[in-house]
Amino acid sequence: MKRQTPAEIYEIRLKGHLDDNWVSWFAGMTITLTEAGDTIVTGPVADQAALHGLLKKVRDLGMPLLSVGHVAAGNVAGSEVNHSTNKENLR
């Protein structure tokens, strides 16, 4: 029997705030809008093909990509929008 490996957690940072109309494109991900005007999309990514699919969505949105980073392996509860106002949450 093949063991299922946990999804890798990635953080994708975009310049500008993602409009609520597009949040459904990132189902299962956490969307954080920072005071600095950026959007951070964080969540589980099954594999490299899924990561490329997310990056294609970012390209299709036309929002400038600031960074992509591997955060950890595991599970993240998703599909929420977090409007960050706490400076500790901002980078």
Looking at residues 14-29, what average pLDDT do you find?
Answer: 91
- Write the DSSP assignment of the chain as a string of letters: -PPPPPPEEEEEEEESPPPGGGGGGGTTSEEEE-TTSEEEEEEEE-SHHHHHHHHHHHHHHTPPEEEEEEEEES-----EEEE---GGG--
pLDDT of residue 6: 78
Give the separation between CA 85 and CA 64, rounded to whole angstroms. Answer: 22
pLDDT of residue 88: 37
Provide the β-strand partners of residue 10. Answer: 43, 70
44-88 pLDDT per residue, tens = 999 999 999 999 999 999 999 999 999 977 544 444 455 543 333
Provide the whole-model pTM: 0.75
Residue ranges covered by each domain of the chain: 8-78
Question: What is the gyration radius of the CA atoms in the chain, in angstroms?
Answer: 13
Indicate the pLDDT class of residue 3, thresholds 50, 70 and 90.
low
The length of the chain in residues reads: 91
- Token readout for 10 is 């990635």
Average pLDDT, the chain: 82
pLDDT of residue 22: 87
Q: What is the CATH number of domain 8-78?
A: 3.30.70
pLDDT of residue 67: 98
